[in-house]
């Protein structure tokens, strides 16, 4: 293999170390050129105590690497390569300890220049988690490009809500951009591209979605964002990996509280206990960045003052679930306390409290003095 250009050298390192990005960074620190790497590679691999099997895999990649062929394939798929020195490379992502030396991007690169907020959460999201995400992202997408991982549950809701609100969104893959994972989100990925969004990955084409690659993906989701909002997460949720990455990267972390009995609230409550900011409205996040944010995407809408809560949108009774509608009708004439509502609805206390929370989020009811509830 003849000596490669600088960009082709980075492309080679991407194919060699896509599962161990810190090694790619180490090579660049030691060897500035492809020729220097070929000269020192055995010494480097020995210093890393790389097994013979891994050395053989590296040798196979080196022997079969055809940069021109790869560049043609990327071009045919409308995929661009962003190198660390590229002006379009996300500036915040450069600050982490192991930034991808190559990002593969498909779609609208201008998304990378907007203020970005990561929104993540449980794959097995509850109706509460999805509705909370919709409620918050509807307003947040006016000010931030929403970054998420195209996963089921909260990620999907975050992307969808942003698109419905005519905002910008970036989906970061845990595999090559030629594989949509999960497969049921192929339409969502297509919609992101059609609505001037962006698909992004550090993994070369043909890289398959394997469990250990998603934590790698998560550090990019948090690393390129100003902060991370966790809308719903279990005690061992992958979303917590994103949140912990954000903490390591000195990013802001926000969490939405949930019902105390719900498994999908344990992760967010743990984050709040560790110091994440509790979020009940979009303004809780916007106020944290008000001094550093530039013009919002929709210039006709100004940033709300810190003391001014974002107005909840009213919801028509026809849009409510059966239980929600029953409670709303009970409160039409006068407000009521919890005991009275339990007696009238015959609901378990935990189910009643969850329903009341959803009605508050939807802007249908509000808490009044004396722990009473009434229509807005």
Please indicate, yes or no, if residue 293 is contained in any of the structural domains. Answer: no
pLDDT score of 302 more than 50: no
We report the CATH number of the domain holding residue 134 as: 3.40.50.450
Query: What number is the average pLDDT over the span 359-376?
Result: 76
How high is the pLDDT of residue 294?
Answer: 54
7-16, 47-56, 98-107, 342-351: which has the minimum mean pLDDT?
342-351
Number of C-beta neighbours around residue 355 at 10 A: 22
If one counts the domains in the chain, the total is 3
Say yes or no: 272 and 351 in one domain: no
Domain-located, residue 308: no
- CB neighbour class for 220 (10 Å; exposed up to 12, middle 13-18, buried from 19): buried
pTM of the shown model: 0.79
Q: For position 373, what pLDDT does the model report?
A: 82
Residue 314 has a pLDDT of: 43
Same domain, 208 and 140: yes
Question: Is 8 a domain residue?
Answer: yes
pLDDT of 310 higher than 80: no
Q: Are residues 178 and 42 in the same domain?
A: no
259 and 334 belong to one structural domain: no
Q: Same domain for 207 and 140? A: yes
In the predicted structure, residue 311 carries a pLDDT above the cut 50 = no
The answer to whether residue 213 sits within a structural domain is: yes
Per-residue pLDDT at 336: 87
Average pLDDT over residues 317-344: 83
Is 12 a member of any domain? yes
In a domain, 176, yes or no: yes
356 shares a domain with 212 = no
Mean pLDDT of the chain: 89
At 350 the pLDDT is 63
CATH number, domain at 346?
1.10.10.10
Does position 44 have pLDDT exceeding 90, yes or no?
yes
Are residues 153 and 35 part of one domain?
no
Residue 312 neighbours by CB under 8 Å, 6+ apart: 135, 281, 361, 362, 363, 376
Confidence of residue 360 (pLDDT cuts 50, 70, 90): confident
134 and 267 in a single domain? The answer is: yes
Give 308's pLDDT tier (boundaries 50, 70, 90): very low
- The rounded distance, in Å, linking the Cα atoms of 193 and 190 is 5
> β-strands 102-107, 198-201: how paired?
antiparallel
How large a percentage of the chain has pLDDT more than 90? 70
Q: How confident is the model at residue 343 (pLDDT cuts 50, 70, 90)?
A: confident
pLDDT at 371 over 70: no
Q: Is residue 277 part of a domain?
A: yes
pLDDT for residue 300 is more than 70: no
Same domain, yes or no: 21 and 61: yes
- pLDDT for the residue numbered 306: 36
Residues of the domain holding 56: 1-76
Residue 310, in any domain of the structure: no
Considering the domain architecture, whether residues 346 and 223 belong to the same structural domain is answered as no
Domain end call among 37, 59, 76: 76
Phi, psi of 120 (to 5 degrees): -135, 170
Banded pLDDT at 199 (limits 50, 70, 90): very high
Residue 265 confidence (pLDDT) above 60: yes
How much is the pLDDT for 203? 98
Residue 153's pLDDT is 97
Question: Do 271 and 128 belong to one domain?
Answer: yes
What is the C-alpha R_g of the chain?
24
pLDDT for the residue 349: 66
Query: Cβ distance 229 to 281 under 8 Å?
Result: no
Spell out the alpha helix ranges (H) of the chain.
6-16, 21-30, 34-47, 52-64, 67-76, 127-140, 154-164, 186-194, 213-223, 238-248, 266-273, 283-286, 322-330, 338-345, 349-361
Does 136 share its domain with 35? Answer: no
Tell me phi and psi for residue 293, to 5 degrees: -70, 140
Helix (H, G, I), strand (E, B) or coil at 311: coil
Q: Helix or strand or coil: residue 306?
A: coil
Residue 341, SS3?
Answer: helix
């Amino acid at each position: 293999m003849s000596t490669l250009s600088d960009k082709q050298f980075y492309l080679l390192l991407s194919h060699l170390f896509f599962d161990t990005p810190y090694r790619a960074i180490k090579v660049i620190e030691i060897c500035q050129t492809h020729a220097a790497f070929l000269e020192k590679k055995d010494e480097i691999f020995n210093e890393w105590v790389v097994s013979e099997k891994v050395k053989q895999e590296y040798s196979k990649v080196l022997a079969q690497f055809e940069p021109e062929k790869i560049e043609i394939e990327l071009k045919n798929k409308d995929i661009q390569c962003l190198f660390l020195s590229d002006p379009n490379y996300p500036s915040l992502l450069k600050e982490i300890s192991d930034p991808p030396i190559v990002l593969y991007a498909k779609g609208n690169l201008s998304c990378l220049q907007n203020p970005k907020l990561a929104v993540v959460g449980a794959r097995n999201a509850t109706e509460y988690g999805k509705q909370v995400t919709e409620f918050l992202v509807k307003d947040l997408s006016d000010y931030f490009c929403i970054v998420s991982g195209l996963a089921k549950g909260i990620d999907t809701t975050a992307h969808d809500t942003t698109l419905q609100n005519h905002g910008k969104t970036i989906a970061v893959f845990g595999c090559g951009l030629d594989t949509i994972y999960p497969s049921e989100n192929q339409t969502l990925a297509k919609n992101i591209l059609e609505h001037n969004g962006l698909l992004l990955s550090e993994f070369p084409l043909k890289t398959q979605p394997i469990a250990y690659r998603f934590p790698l993906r998560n550090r990019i989701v948090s690393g390129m964002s100003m902060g991370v909002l966790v809308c719903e997460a279990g005690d061992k949720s992958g979303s917590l990996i994103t949140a912990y990455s954000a903490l390591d990267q000195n990013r802001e972390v926000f969490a939405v509280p949930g019902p105390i009995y719900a498994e999908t609230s344990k992760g967010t409550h743990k984050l709040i206990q560790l110091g994440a900011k509790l979020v009940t409205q979009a303004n809780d996040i916007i106020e944290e960045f008000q001094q550093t944010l530039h013009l919002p995407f929709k210039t006709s809408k100004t940033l709300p003052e810190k003391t001014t809560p974002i107005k909840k949108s009213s919801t028509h009774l026809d849009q409510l679930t059966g239980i929600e509608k029953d409670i709303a009708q009970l409160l039409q004439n006068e407000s009521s306390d919890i005991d009275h509502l339990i007696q009238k609805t015959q609901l378990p206390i935990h189910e009643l409290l969850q329903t009341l929370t959803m009605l508050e989020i939807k802007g249908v009811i509000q808490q009044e003095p004396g722990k009473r509830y009434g229509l807005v």
